[in-house]
Chains A and B, each alone.
Chain A
Amino acid sequence: MQHIFQEIMGKYNYWLYIVLMMIGLYGMIAKNNLIKKLVGMNIFQTAIILFYISIGYKKGGTLPIIEIPHGHHSISPAAIDIDKYINPLPHVLMLTAIVVSVATFGVAVAVALKIYKEYNTLEEDEIRMRLRER
């Protein structure tokens, strides 16, 4: 029991992202309201962003800005302790991914608005019923 607990707590960031991802997927699949589905979609994407953020992080690490000691003009690469700095690349990638997810959300909301103007409802089952009637 203790073993399992340690296993989970040792990698809690990954567990968290899986739980969030499942919440998002559940929202997208099970909810009937289109806006709720959109929120699910956003949670799903955020989970992946958090996953990327956590893989770049190091315990006790700081921003990768190298400070040159006073009086020096440069610092030799060997003198840099890479364990002290977090990996910035996944974070930079996620800036782009955030932009993508915002853009997707924007397009999706605009399309949902178009649906609302046509059907006066955002409940999926009602829309499907109307589509079948015709």
Chain B
Amino acid sequence: MMTTDNVFAVLLVVTPLVCAFFVMGLHWVDRRWCYPLAVIANGISFISAVEILISVVKHGTIHYRLGGWRPPIGIEYRIDLLNAVVLVIVSTVALVNLFASYNDISRELPEKKGTFYSLYLLFLTGLLGVVVTGDLFNLYVLLEITSLSAYSQIALGDVRRGPFASLNYIFIGVIGASFYLLGVGYIYIMTGSLNMADVAHLLTRLHYSQAIFVAFIFCMVGVWIKMALFPLHIWLPNAYTYAPTASGRVIAPLMTKVMVYVMIRLMFTVFGITYLFKVVHISQFVVWLASVAIIYGGLMALSQNNLKKMLTYIIVSEIGYMVGGAWLGNKLGLTGAILHIINDAFMTFALFLAAGNFAYRLGELTLDNFNDIFSKMPWTMAGFVVAGLSIIGVPPTCGFFSKWYLLLGAFAARQYFFFVALILSSLVNAILFFRIFEKGLFGGGGHHVSVRGEIQEAPVNMIICLGLISVGLVVLGLYAGDIVNTFIIPFIPQGLG
């Protein structure tokens, strides 16, 4: 059965968009109202996303026609299982981060509350819009809304380095988005359509067109720049490290994951598996690239002395997991990649939440500051340990299961280099995290008084948010089988080996 009218599909995107303007206005009336309004807007998005997911699981794909125009002419919101799951991830992470970041905002940006929450809601609008849309050009516009709000949020961060990191991100981000736009232009020349489903239908007859090949390469490179796949990752570590705590925490897990979603959507919905693995022969190359990304990210993370920067390089490495999995060209690999989108969003989010808690009490996040941290901040450290184990891939945390699918996929596709890279990455991650655990447990003699006075446990709302997500990591792991069967297997296209 097909539902054609689901009001939640549009409520999801429009609510944060409209509220973003009101939040900005309320800033001049009474600053105290900005935060509740942002929470309400985000909450409505969250509820809509959950409703959509339930509806999609029960009744199948949702088609929503904006303004009532028929799809090839009008813009269509097309939500299948893959979007629905990503929508829930995005809105959940953003909502939890709002609760966790209340104290950070009051401390870091007290004068700019309205600006910040307005940008935050615009960022959420953009992400949800990118995920929900079924139109190639609409995707570009929403992608730019997301990026612009991310640029400005990053520029609000560290006074010395934030703006410079942001400007570099702008230059590279613009190139990425423009490449994507060019690719869409070539697709439009050849097919005369911008609707994803329509384009996919028309492309089946154009597989051997040179222009379509150019379009494909432009779109892919554009998306890779935006998701920071090695060697296009240069902008990421600085931009995410020097952003304000509250926005870094939401940009880092979501932006990259949503771009991986866009890549999977373009690959499997628009271009189709015949084109990907039979017509263009670049899958081998991309899997190699992804393997190098995994190893490079791990090695760079090892050489960092700042926790936040280390985490950003772990993101570079995790991007390699998902890109490689999607390009393996078999069911197991794609399952692993999609499961890893879900898991990695929450794993990185948990890590950044913990890093935020540490930063709130410690100030500087150099690794030496972690001496004896277990006795000072036991609850935060507990959450950090769960998240770390999940990144390493220790069962029963969720990180293990997606990695397991990826390993099986790599083995089935005979991509042994990717296989080795995954295992090596686990080892490197183990070193990374156990180094910190060891310092936290046995590294006595550190300075116990930071710039912010006696070190104590982080505020209780931050602890609760971190606890929630850490427990979520274990729950996601325990229900990994159900998640794969309900949400992922039905999406996997037929004909994939």
Contacts and interface: CB of A to CB of B under 8 A. Distances in A.
Interface stretch (A3-11, A57-65, A72-80, A109-117): A109-117
Contacts of B137: 93, 96
Contacts of B144: 100, 103-104
A81 to B, nearest CB: 18
A94 to B, nearest CB: 10
A65 to B, nearest CB: 18
Contacts of A127: 164
A103 B181 contact: no
Interface string A94-110: 00110010011001101
B178 A48 contact: yes
B161 A44 contact: no
A70 interface: no
B175 interface: yes
B182 A51 contact: yes
Contacts of B160: 118, 131, 134
Contact of B167 (A44, A90, A115): A115
Interface residues of B, number: 25
B167 A111 contact: yes
Taking chain A's interface residues, is the majority helix, strand, or loop, or is none over half, making it mixed? helix
Given A114-B155, A115-B163, A48 B185 contact: yes
A28 B167 contact: no
Contacts of A44: 174-175, 178
Interface residues of A, number: 29
Interface string A116-132: 00100000000100010
B289 interface: no
Given A103-B148, A104-B174, A52 B185 contact: yes
Contacts of B174: 41, 44-45, 104
Contacts of A108: 151, 167, 170
B428 to A, nearest CB: 27
A55 B166 contact: no
A131 B242 CA distance: 13
A25 B167 CA distance: 16
Contacts of A51: 182, 185
25 contacts: A28-B175, A34-B167, A37-B171, A44-B175, A48-B178, A48-B181, A48-B182, A48-B185, A51-B185, A55-B185, A97-B181, A100-B144, A103-B144, A108-B167, A110-B152, A110-B155, A111-B151, A112-B167, A114-B155, A114-B163, A115-B167, A118-B159, A118-B160, A127-B164, A131-B161
Given A28-B171, A103-B144, 14 more contacts: A34-B167, A41-B170, A55-B185, A55-B188, A93-B137, A96-B137, A100-B141, A100-B144, A103-B148, A110-B152, A111-B151, A111-B152, A111-B170, A115-B163
Interface of B: 137, 140-141, 144, 148, 151-152, 155, 159-161, 163-164, 166-167, 170-171, 174-175, 178, 181-182, 185, 188-189
6 cross-chain pairs, A with B, having the tightest CB-CB distances, nearest first:
A114-B163, A100-B144, A111-B155, A115-B163, A108-B170, A111-B167
